[in-house]
Amino acid sequence: MTSAYIRQSLPSTADLPCSDATPADNEDQNLLPNLLLMLLTHLWAERMDWFLGVDMAVYHTTGLNLRVPVVPDAFLSLGVERKKGDKYRRSYAVWEEQEIVPILAIEMVSHKPGGEYNKKMDIYSNLGVLYYVVYNPEFWNRDQHQPFEVYKLEAGTYRLQIGEPFWMPEAAIGMGRYQAEVGGLTREILTWYDQRGNRHLSAEEKARFQAEKERQERSRLEAFIRSQGFDPDNLPNP
């Protein structure tokens, strides 16, 4: 059987479920991946060679049944189209993406363990996902792991990496935790960092910082004008 025939016989994502229909059992599984997506959409707005999926089925041929996907809480693929033609993806099938597997998969541990440290780790390593992040802020003691762990695939085996935020040179981006204000509440989130360990700011944060910078500059100018004996609100006409 030729590889061309095998490719033709593979199912289309149009005919495959977009997820595994397993409901999230905590709000972080929905909120945090979408915060990562929104920020990356801002950071890489000019790039058309990436895709970040949230709670989306990833179909592959490295398991026992290619119709049974793995569904990360989030995954990042590079070298693929942001939007496939004029359509948005319902799911991600490696055979429809030039055999490009995600470079990063993220799993968030919930109340009921989901095999994040064994079963899913095996699936991602067999698939060839280079980086695997496990976020476990609540149950890390129970599971005897750290709240934030990054694994890198080395010679077919995931090796726990050291450092946070952790820089992923192959993806040209870093990841770590941050205490952020989201919807009026302070909470820990996952977010993106640059190579120097600086947190990437959202568009809203950049706008606020710029406004604050302009306010401070205006205050300094007004203070200087007052020091010269003038009222900045009533300057004489030139």
Pairing mode of beta strands 92-93, 104-108: unpaired
CATH topology of domain 3-200: tt1808, chain A (3.90.1570)
Q: Which residue has the higher pLDDT, 70 or 16?
A: 70
Residues 99/127, Cβ–Cβ less than 8 Å = no
Q: How many whole angstroms separate alpha carbon 93 and alpha carbon 59?
A: 4
Residues 102/132, Cβ–Cβ less than 8 Å = no
Mean pLDDT on 162-188 = 95
Model confidence pLDDT, tens digit, residues 84-103: 877 889 999 999 999 999 99
Mention every residue, 6+ apart, whose C-beta is less than 8 A from residue 179.
186, 187, 188, 189
Collapsing DSSP to helix, strand or coil, 207 comes out as helix
Residues 120/133, Cβ–Cβ less than 8 Å = no
Q: Is the pLDDT of residue 4 over 60?
A: no
Q: How many whole angstroms separate alpha carbon 126 and alpha carbon 224?
A: 65
In the block, which residue shows the tokens 């993406």? 97
For residue 1, the model assigns a pLDDT of 36
Q: Is the pLDDT of residue 212 over 90?
A: no
For residue 21, the model assigns a pLDDT of 62
Q: Which residue has the higher pLDDT, 86 or 178?
A: 178
Q: Is the pLDDT of residue 2 over 60?
A: no
Residue 143 structure tokens? 């599971």
Delimit the domains of the chain by residue range.
Answer: 3-200, 201-238
Q: Model's pTM, two decimal places? A: 0.85
Q: Name the residue among 85, 122, 125 with its Cα closest to residue 101.
A: 125
Mean pLDDT on 138-162 = 96
Please report which confidence band the pLDDT of residue 15 belongs to, taking 50, 70 and 90 as the band edges. confident
Model confidence pLDDT, tens digit, residues 45-66: 999 999 999 999 999 999 989 9
Residue 225 structure tokens? 């004008």
